[in-house]
Amino acid sequence: QVQLVESGGGLVQAGGSLRLSCAASGSTSRLDTMGWYRQAAGKQRELVARITSGGSANYADSVKGRFTISRDNVKNMLYLQMDSLKPEDTAVYYCNTERRGRDLRLYDYWGQGTQVTVSF
């Protein structure tokens, strides 16, 4: 099992910045791709950014050029630097990781989420 704990959310004005962190603990060997997802009120959860264990990242079009995802494989940490925040970025942000089990299958794990609110 893998436990994920997010931190760093909060209230910020439009144009501001926040840095989200996600700490992974438990069975952290063989962690694969990690990512950030978000869910706004009344909407479906959507991908924000993902990063492979080798450091290759991809982003949703809506955050390209404003958000940066990174990870520290030694500390088992995932980060999301969010700049030039917009009110439409308001959502609960979730940390996700895939882990390859001994059966070589990929298993999904989720954090509890952290609220990001961007005011006008």
Task: Measure the CA–CA gap between 67 and 59, rounded to whole angstroms.
Answer: 8
Q: By three-state DSSP, how is residue 89 classified?
A: helix
State pLDDT tens for residues 6-60. 999 999 999 999 999 999 999 888 899 999 999 999 999 999 999 999 999 999 9
State pLDDT tens for residues 111-120. 999 999 999 9
pLDDT of residue 18: 98
State pLDDT tens for residues 79-108. 999 999 999 999 999 999 999 888 989 999
